[in-house]
A and B are shown apart, each in its own frame.
Chain A
Amino acid sequence: MTTAPQTASVPAKTEPVDPVYRQIRDLVYKVSGIYKADEKLYLLADGCVRRMKVMGAKSPRDYWDYLTANPSRDGELRQLLNEITIGETCLFRSQPQLDAVRKVILPEIVVEKTKQITKRLRIWSAGCSTGEESYTLAMNMMEESERLLKGWTVEILATDLNDRSVETAKAGIYGDYALRNTTDYYKRKYFTTLDEKKLQVRPEVKKLITFSRLNLQDDSKMLFMKGMDLIFCCNVLIYFDGSSKAKVVNHYYTNLNFGGYFFLGTSESLLNLNDKFHLVHFPGSIAYWKPSLSSGKL
């Protein structure tokens, strides 16, 4: 490994970024569907600079060659994707997604399912990592338990490939960083204090969630994940190549109920992996919808 070149410094948020980073942004989007908007381009640049140091690239242009012309370019791109998506997880990471679920999607699903005399809601957090998203969803569903979801059974399945992540998730212990978006209201209602720096999710929240290890590429196991109303899969698809990604997405489509929704990370796109989903916009968020039988849009 070469020593870090002096030229590779982290660009400040306000400085104009090297145009090469826009090229890298486009490449990253083409390969992974992750788009770093201009105001977040510094995060991409930041990740690139860290990788440049490791690889000994002297300039962004030099690093561009590593990503496009070098024989190990695919591996390097994977490393860069890791860099730019790492550490994004926290509880209540995307309020617009939660608003969409509670204000638009739940009322719709409740109407739809009440027609079928079913009062069961199934949510899958696929690639749940250390559980932040799963608990956020559970707490939000509990908030609705006296209103929209009164008398309903809510099941949240949270899966991850990594055993250690699943164990951490089960423990449900979080520090300040993971709780930076969590309001005092939620902290008081759904957590117990472990020590000055750590809070633990209360057992009644945990009861809603089943954590387990699952390899999304295991076709036989994926077949058993049927009957979902909502699937969340944030910054997970980047770990798959084109054809396996399409297969996983296809499983998601099959596993969703008609009228169900599929959410990706906030700056992530499905690109052209599946044309059966309808892309839908909610205020501040987007999702993929499997049209309901009654919508006439299948």
Chain B
Amino acid sequence: MTTTSFTATIQDRVSRIDTMPSIPAVFLPLLELLNLPPENVKLDEVVKLVSYDNTIAAQCLRVASSPLFGLAKTPESIKGAVISLGLRRVETILLTCCLGSAFPSKNWALDPTIFWRHSLGCAMVCRKFSEKLAAPDTDKAYMAGLLHDIGFPVNCMVFPKEFAIATANATQAQIPLDEAERATMGFSHCETGRALAEKWHLANDLIQVIAFHHTPELCESAKPLVAMVHLSDLLCRMRNMGYGYYESRKVDLANNPAWAILLQEYRALEGIDLVRFTFELDEAAAEVFHLVSTIFGAGAAAGKS
């Protein structure tokens, strides 16, 4: 197929993207709450929002009562969960549940458990990164990490055959999945993710992350955030939270162009102990695996680590 016909195919499919998932009603208001300083968040508002969606509320309670959080008493209400676990943790759980419910994961070419582990792992690394760098908006970094790969579920749903070939090629050649997508389909999850992000009217910086997290030097704005997601994504893939296959590659983070972009914004990056950061990330991975197992069901728990 020629490049022109490829482009035509994407445009055609993207124009019929109505078949793509719609954003859960509580997602954007929750996102707004996340952007508020914690002292301005009204607990009742969170509870009210969540009670709109019974499935999400039930999932949130299931997660909150998992042994991971070590609560002596299982919370019986969202309010109880917030009081026991803290607002930020509950928000994290809620947003993940929301996203999970947006993508019914039937017949995906990519194992949904693996996908969510990677997304949540990346979110967690972004948050850690931004805390270490004393970046102003750690919650934005978390969201950026959580959403950066939403193009993958889109590919699973809109381009199932082509994407299945791409994942098979990537696994066989042990190459990065975005490279295999481009080689096989002529485009990647960055373009399809962007289409969904725009359809969902996500904030522009999140759109930049979704569209350019593999090519941070090309993004139009929000460069430091995109660079942070790029590095976090790589780190996750090197620490057992990748796409579920062995990527035969070496990653030199400090000599990655994204590192230089981030360094321009945050001098604190110079002093970061990357090895210790990596070890700490492994610790947090246990929480991510558990969270994904709890949110996405018993099948997820059986996934290989």
Contact = CB atoms under 8 A, between A and B. Distances in A.
A37 B249 CA distance: 25
A269 interface: yes
A29 B276 CA distance: 9
Contacts of A278: 252, 254-255
A39 B283 contact: yes
B128 to A, nearest CB: 14
A39 B284 CA distance: 10
Interface stretch (B2-10, B187-195, B238-246): B238-246
Contact of B276 (A35, A99, A104, A105): A35
Interface string A36-69: 0111000000000000000000000000000000
A155 to B, nearest CB: 24
B222 interface: no
Given A278-B255, A284-B238, A284-B239, A267 B249 contact: no
Interface residues of A, number: 28
Contacts of A35: 275-276, 279
B252 A269 contact: no
B247 interface: yes
B279 A267 contact: yes
Contact of A282 (B238, B273, B286): B238
Contacts of A283: 237-238, 240, 242, 246-247, 249
B174 interface: yes
A283 B234 CA distance: 10
A37 B275 contact: no
* Dominant secondary structure of chain B at its interface with chain A: helix
A282 B242 CA distance: 12
Nearest to B274: A279
A169 interface: no
A19 interface: no
Contacts of B275: 33, 35, 269-271, 279, 286
A266 B174 CA distance: 23
B: interface residue count bin: 20 to 34
A104 B249 contact: yes
Contacts of B276: 29, 35, 269
Contacts of B258: none
A281 interface: yes
Given A38-B286, A286-B278, A281 B251 contact: yes
Interface string B265-305: 00000000111101110110010000000000000000000
Contacts of A284: 238-240
A104 B250 contact: yes
Contacts of A105: 250
B49 to A, nearest CB: 32
B282 A281 contact: no
B248 interface: yes
B254 A38 contact: no
A280 interface: yes
B8 to A, nearest CB: 37
A274 B161 CA distance: 49
B248 A280 contact: no
Contact of B246 (A99, A107, A286): A99
Contacts of A16: 70
Given A16-B70, A284-B238, A104 B279 contact: no
B237 A39 contact: no
A191 interface: no
B238 A289 contact: no
A281 B274 CA distance: 10
B231 to A, nearest CB: 11
A284 B238 CA distance: 6
Interface string A255-298: 00000000000010111000000111111101001000000010
A126 B250 CA distance: 23
A103 interface: yes
A271 B271 CA distance: 11
What 10 pairs across the A-B complex have the smallest Cβ distances? A269-B275, A281-B238, A38-B283, A281-B251, A35-B279, A37-B283, A103-B248, A280-B250, A280-B252, A37-B282
8 contacts: A35-B279, A38-B286, A108-B250, A269-B275, A281-B234, A281-B278, A284-B238, A284-B240
Interface of B: 70, 174, 234-235, 237-240, 242, 246-255, 273-276, 278-280, 282-283, 286
